[in-house]
Amino acid sequence: MAIVFADVQNLLDAILAKSTWAQGAHPPLHPQPHGAFWRQTGDYDQDYSLFTTGEVPNVGIPIMNTSVGQGLQSNFYVILTNPNGLADDGIPQMPGGPGGPYLTDSGYEADVAGTTMTGQQIQEALASWLTNGFPK
């Protein structure tokens, strides 16, 4: 099954909901300073466009790297999958904390639209979307 942007939104929702920051919070979740930037407007087409061409709100870094063959260098992916986060920008691994939990943590699992997925499965799904041209 091909991963589309709606799947990416669900994956990011699940990562956020699992975060230490979100415990006890009620949806919709809007982490500071950037909010749920994968659902900025509530309009699917507009959210897709903003996600694939825009910057992280109030942070000022591109969300995606849309250069051919560079999708896995997209900031949103690197910050979730690299234990060093975006070291050059001084931004730690996300989700912010304190303490994640992070996709890269041993035993990480999250409920994604009713399906339990491991951190590795989530990383693979995001990587699939990025390497297959970010299907809408």
Say what the pLDDT of residue 30 is: 62
Say what the pLDDT of residue 28 is: 60
**In the chain, what are the domain boundaries?**
5-131
Phi-psi region of 23 (alpha: psi -120 to 50; beta: other; left: phi over 0): beta
For the chain, the C-alpha Rg in angstroms (whole number) is 14
62 pairs with which residues across the strands?
55
Say what the pLDDT of residue 97 is: 62
Say what the pLDDT of residue 60 is: 87
86 pairs with which residues across the strands?
91
Say what the pLDDT of residue 2 is: 92
| CB-based contacts of 33-40 (< 8 A; 24+ apart in sequence) | 33/57, 33/58, 33/59, 34/58, 34/59, 36/12, 37/63, 38/8, 38/9, 38/12, 38/13, 39/9, 39/13
For the segment 60-115, what is each residue's pLDDT rounded down to a tens digit? Answer: 899 999 899 999 999 999 999 999 999 898 888 898 766 789 999 999 999 999 99
For the segment 20-71, what is each residue's pLDDT rounded down to a tens digit? Answer: 877 766 666 666 677 789 999 999 999 999 999 999 988 889 999 989 999 9
Tokens of 92: 């730690």
